[in-house]
C-alpha cells in the first residue's frame, strides 16, 4: 500500500509524536468526525492527520481464456483536492495538519494509519442494515482491530449543547474479578481492559471538565434461581468492590467527579440509556484484533456501533 501525501505542516511541540488520525470519505463527507478529531488535536496538542482511501481499479486482463483482473493505479486527484478543502475548512487553526491519500481499501488504510496514532476517528456511515450485520461496516472493522483507541462519531453529531454532558465509561466486571487480595491487581484480562478504558475515560473527562459516570451492569444468571435477598446481598458486595477498584483513579484525578452507577439488567440497555445523555461513551474492546469483521455477532460493542447516539470510543 502506497501513500500519496500532500502535507501542510509547521513544527509543533507535543508529547510523543502520535497523531489524531481521522478517516475521510470523499463520497460521504464526515464533517462530524473531522470536527471531533480537530477538537481532540487542539486539546491534546497533537498533530492531526486526515486520511482518505483510494481503492485500486480492477481491469480485466486481455489474455484469452484467462478470467482474471489486475489492479491499476487510481486517479487520486479528486481525493487530494477534497482533503485539501477539508483541511482548509476545519483544521486551519491547527499548527500541524497532514492530508494523506492512500491506495487501498478503507479498512486497510485506516488500520495502517492507526499503527502510529494516538487514536483514530471515523464517521458512522450507513450501508444498509443487512450488509452491516453480515460483513461489518468500516467503523466496526476498524474499532475491532485497531491497535489504538477508535472513536466512531454518529452522522450529524454536534457538540453544541453537549459540552457540559458527562463522559460515560462502561465496565464489564464481575464480583469474582474484583475480589482482590491485599489491594493488588492480578493479571486478569477483564481488569486490565477495565483499567485501560478508565484511563482513557478519566483523561477525556478531565480535559473536558465534566463528570465521569462509571457504569457497570450485572444480570443474574438464568440457570440459577436468585431471591430478592440474594440479589440485594450481591449488589451490596459488588458496589463496595467497584468503589474500591475506582480508588486509584479518584486519588490521581481528584478534580474529576467520578460517579458510580451499578445497574441490574442488560448491559446493552444500560449503555443505550447512558449514551442518550453523554457527550462520549467509552468501552473496552474484548474481541481479539485478528477477527476480520471486527466484532462477533451479538457483541455489546457491535450493538452500540449500530445504534450510535453519541461518539463512542473503543479502547483495545
Predicted confidence band at 270 (pLDDT cuts at 50, 70, 90)?
very high
**Which CATH fold topology does 3-153 show?**
Rossmann fold (3.40.50)
Determine the pLDDT at residue 63.
Answer: 53
pLDDT surpasses 70 at 186? no
Percent of the chain with pLDDT over 90: 41
Region 269-295: mean pLDDT is 80
The more confident residue out of 224 and 218 is: 218
Identify whether the C-beta of residue 26 lies closer than 8 Å to the C-beta of residue 126. Answer: no
Give residue-wise pLDDT tens across range 142-178.
998 999 999 999 988 887 778 899 999 999 988 888 8
Cell of residue 261, nine digits: 452507577
Give residue-wise pLDDT tens across range 26-66.
666 578 899 999 999 999 999 999 998 887 765 555 554 45
Determine the pLDDT at residue 138.
Answer: 84
Q: Taking the C-alpha atoms of 64, 67, 72 and 77 in order, what is their torsion angle to the nearest 10 degrees?
A: 110
Percent of the chain with pLDDT over 70: 78
Euclidean distance between CA atoms 81 and 58, whole angstroms: 23
Cell of residue 170, nine digits: 462502561
Average pLDDT, the chain: 81
Query: Mean pLDDT: which of 65-69, 97-101, 266-270, 278-282 is highest?
Result: 278-282
Determine the pLDDT at residue 91.
Answer: 81
Predicted confidence band at 8 (pLDDT cuts at 50, 70, 90)?
very low
pLDDT surpasses 90 at 204? yes
Sheet holding 258-264, edge to edge: 3-9, 96-103, 48-54, 19-23, 117-123, 150-153, 312-315, 280-284, 167-170, 212-218, 258-264
The domain limits of the chain are: 3-153, 167-278
Determine the pLDDT at residue 283.
Answer: 95
CATH class given for the domain over 167-278: alpha beta
Residue 207 has, within 13 A of its CA and on its CB side, a CA count of: 14
Equal CATH topology for 3-153 and 167-278: yes
DSSP string, 57-92: EEEE--STT---EEEE----HHHHHHHHHHHHHHST
The more confident residue out of 110 and 14 is: 110
Determine the pLDDT at residue 221.
Answer: 74
Determine the pLDDT at residue 84.
Answer: 86
The more confident residue out of 204 and 232 is: 204
Determine the pLDDT at residue 72.
Answer: 55
Region 293-299: mean pLDDT is 53
Euclidean distance between CA atoms 191 and 30, whole angstroms: 34
Amino acid at each position: 500500500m502506497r501513500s500519496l501525501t500532500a502535507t501542510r505542516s509547521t513544527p509543533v511541540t507535543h508529547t510523543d509524536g502520535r497523531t489524531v488520525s481521522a478517516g475521510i470519505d470523499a463520497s460521504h463527507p464526515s464533517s462530524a468526525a473531522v470536527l471531533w478529531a480537530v477538537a481532540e488535536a487542539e486539546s491534546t496538542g497533537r498533530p492531526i492527520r486526515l486520511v482518505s482511501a483510494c481503492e485500486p481499479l480492477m481491469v480485466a486482463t486481455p489474455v484469452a481464456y484467462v478470467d482474471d483482473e489486475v489492479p491499476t493505479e487510481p486517479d487520486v486527484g479528486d481525493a487530494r483536492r477534497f482533503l485539501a478543502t477539508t483541511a482548509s475548512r476545519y483544521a486551519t487553526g491547527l499548527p500541524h495538519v497532514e492530508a494523506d491519500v492512500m491506495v487501498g481499501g478503507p479498512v486497510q488504510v485506516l488500520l495502517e494509519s492507526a499503527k502510529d496514532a494516538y487514536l483514530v476517528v471515523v464517521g458512522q456511515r450507513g450501508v444498509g442494515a443487512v450488509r452491516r450485520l453480515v460483513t461489518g461496516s468500516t467503523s466496526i472493522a476498524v474499532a475491532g482491530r485497531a491497535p489504538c483507541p477508535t472513536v466512531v462519531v454518529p452522522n450529524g453529531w454536534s457538540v453544541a449543547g453537549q459540552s457540559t454532558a458527562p463522559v460515560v465509561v462502561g465496565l464489564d466486571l464481575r464480583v469474582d474479578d474484583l475480589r482482590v487480595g491485599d489491594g493488588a491487581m492480578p493479571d486478569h484480562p477483564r481488569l486490565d481492559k477495565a483499567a485501560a478504558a478508565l484511563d482513557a475515560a478519566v483523561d477525556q473527562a478531565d480535559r473536558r471538565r465534566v463528570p465521569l459516570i462509571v457504569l457497570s451492569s450485572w444480570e443474574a444468571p438464568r440457570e440459577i434461581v436468585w431471591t430478592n435477598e440474594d440479589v440485594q446481598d450481591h449488589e451490596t458486595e459488588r458496589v463496595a468492590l467497584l468503589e474500591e477498584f475506582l480508588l486509584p483513579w479518584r486519588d490521581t484525578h481528584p478534580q474529576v467527579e467520578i460517579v458510580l452507577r451499578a445497574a441490574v439488567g442488560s448491559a446493552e440497555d444500560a449503555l443505550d440509556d447512558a449514551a442518550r445523555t453523554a457527550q462520549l461513551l467509552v468501552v473496552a474492546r474484548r474481541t481479539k484484533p485478528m477477527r476480520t469483521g471486527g466484532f462477533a455477532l451479538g457483541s455489546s460493542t457491535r450493538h452500540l456501533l449500530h445504534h450510535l447516539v453519541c461518539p463512542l470510543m473503543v479502547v483495545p
